[in-house]
């Protein structure tokens, strides 16, 4: 491969001048610049980013740590991050972090610290305080999606409020027998998303004077098959069947709707279902949902990182920024039929 010195020799200038001509920094005569550019083009010169990073100390590369790639929310966030990084001229190095804690340590110790990332974006992962400190100690900007995390800039929707909002939607329609299908705490290592949505559900129920005991809550995997299997189990018995389900994610909601159809239960006539996410399939399944925009969250996180990376001015404080949501009412929610209640 050709190096800068080759370009310099061909253009009959010094390495210093060649470097200045190519980077655009410092004084270079037009004539010299033209010669350098022509020489570079002639031999197909490309800079070595390794050499560049070595001397400048920055690598124009951001690490993204994410637990899933194949779930809608995470995939969308990743797409948003990717497009924003490319636009900013940065590369994206991807680390998927499974629940396996040994692998987790390895990624953290080995890759993130050792490798050439300028910053880290953690999606849906609850970082320990020791891990946060480690990243801060390295001077690497770090932002999280799905916070809040102490000492870090994080973005996410307000899960408690979101859950309360959709629960209130069901309550205002007249439902009283409402169940929540939520995530299992141990399933993945993300934030307190699950418990917060459960808390919001319970708050809203309590505020309306409704029962939200243990019978009103089932855990499942937050995916379409997860919603399907819990739906099949819970909805099969007409005597205990609720009139409405608040699903912890749209994927669970869709699985529940499919299960209900399978059982011959009409949605929304006999069962209302509401989710959280704004999944691309929500429209197809007429799903009422609290929509968020994961791609936008990803882009926002990138901008926050860039602020701190470029950062002449002091960066914004490292706090949680709630992300807006909007309730999209579709055909999966309706007032409970008298017969359904009686049944």
Partner DNA sequence: AGCCACTGTGGAACCGGTTCCACAATCGCG
Partner DNA sequence: CGCGATTGTGGAACCGGTTCCACAGTGGCT
Q: Which residues pair with 251 in a beta bridge?
A: none
Cis upstream peptide for 268 (omega within 30°): yes
Q: Does 32 bind DNA (CB under 7 A)?
A: yes
Task: Indicate whether 19 belongs to the interface with DNA (CB under 7 A).
Answer: yes
Among residues 115 and 303, whose Cβ is nearest to its own copies?
Answer: 115
Q: Note the residue count of the chain.
A: 343
Query: Any contact of residue 331 with its own copies (CB under 8 A)?
Result: no
- Per partner kind, with CB cut-offs from 5 to 8 A, the member of its own copies, DNA, none near residue 82 is its own copies
58 contacts DNA (rule: CB under 7 A):
no
Query: If we measure between CA atoms, which residue out of 113, 116, 117, 153 comes closest to residue 135?
Result: 113
Q: Which residues contact 207 (CB under 8 A, 6 or more apart)?
A: none
Burial (CB < 10 A; 0-12, 13-18, 19+), residue 244, is buried
> Across the strands, what pairs with 144?
122, 154
According to DSSP, residue 99 is labeled: S
160 contacts 200 by C-beta, under 8 angstroms: yes
Interacting residue with its own copies among 10, 21, 65, 72 (CB under 8 A): 72
Q: Using the minimum distance from each CB to DNA, give the nearer residue, 31 or 237.
A: 31
Q: Choose the one of DNA, its own copies, none that binds residue 75, judging by a C-beta under 5 to 8 angstroms depending on kind.
A: its own copies
C-beta closer to its own copies: residue 84 or 170:
84
Question: Which one of residues 10, 34, 56, 102 is an interface residue with DNA (CB under 7 A)?
Answer: 56
- Shortest spacing between CB 46 and DNA, in angstroms: 7
Whole-angstrom CA distances from 26 to 20, 36, 48 are: 6, 14, 20
* Residue 150: CB minimum distance to its own copies, A: 23
| Least distance from its own copies to the Cβ atom of residue 312, Å | 22
- C-alpha pair distances (Å), 155 with each of 80, 124, 144, 292, 299: 14, 10, 6, 12, 11
Residue 86 or residue 341: which is nearer to its own copies going by CB?
86
CA neighbor of 158 nearest in space, from 188, 200, 124:
200
Token readout for 312 is: 């002449």
Q: Is 101 in the site for DNA (CB under 7 A)?
A: no
Binding to its own copies (CB under 8 A) within 90-119 occurs at 91-96, 103, 107, 111, 113-116
Window contacting its own copies (CB under 8 A); options: 8-16, 29-37, 48-56, 142-150: 48-56
Residue 45 binds DNA, judged by CB under 7 A: yes
Among 29, 50, 101, 269, binds its own copies (CB under 8 A): 50
The contact set with DNA (CB under 7 A) reads 1, 3-5, 12-17, 19-20, 22-23, 25-32, 45-48, 51-52, 54-56
């Amino acid at each position: 491969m050709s190096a800068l010195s080759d370009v310099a020799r061909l253009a009959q200038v010094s390495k210093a001048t060649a470097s200045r001509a190519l980077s655009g920094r410092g004084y270079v005569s037009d004539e010299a610049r033209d010669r350098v550019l022509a020489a570079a083009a002639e031999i197909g010169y490309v800079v070595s980013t390794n050499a560049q990073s070595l001397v400048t100390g920055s690598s124009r590369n951001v690490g993204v740590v994410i637990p899933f790639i194949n779930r809608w929310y995470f995939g969308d966030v990743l797409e948003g991050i990717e497009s924003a990084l490319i636009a900013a001229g940065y590369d994206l190095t991807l680390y998927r972090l499974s629940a396996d804690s040994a692998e987790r340590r390895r990624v953290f110790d080995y890759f993130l610290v050792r490798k050439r990332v300028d910053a880290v974006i953690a999606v849906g992962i609850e970082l320990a305080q020791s891990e946060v400190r480690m990243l801060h100690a390295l001077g690497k900007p770090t932002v999280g999606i799905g916070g809040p995390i102490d000492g870090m800039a994080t973005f996410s929707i307000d899960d408690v409020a979101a859950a309360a909002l959709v629960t209130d939607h069901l309550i205002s329609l007249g439902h009283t027998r409402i169940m929540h299908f939520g995530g299992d705490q141990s399933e993945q290592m993300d934030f307190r998303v699950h418990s917060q949505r459960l808390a919001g559900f319970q708050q809203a129920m309590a505020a309306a004077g409704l029962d939200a005991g243990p019978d009103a809550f089932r855990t499942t995997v937050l995916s379409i098959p997860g919603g399907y299997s819990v739906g099949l189990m819970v909805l099969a018995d007409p005597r205990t069947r609720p009139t409405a389900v608040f699903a912890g994610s749209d994927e669970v909601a869709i699985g529940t709707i499919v299960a209900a159809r399978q059982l011959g239960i009409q949605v929304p006539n006999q069962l209302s279902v509401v989710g959280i996410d704004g999944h691309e399939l929500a429209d197809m399944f007429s799903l009422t949902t609290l929509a968020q925009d994961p791609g936008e969250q990803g882009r926002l996180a990138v901008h926050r990182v860039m602020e701190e990376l470029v950062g002449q001015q002091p960066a914004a404080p490292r706090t949680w920024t709630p992300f807006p949501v909007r309730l999209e009412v579709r055909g999966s929610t309706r007032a409970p039929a008298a017969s359904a209640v009686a049944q």
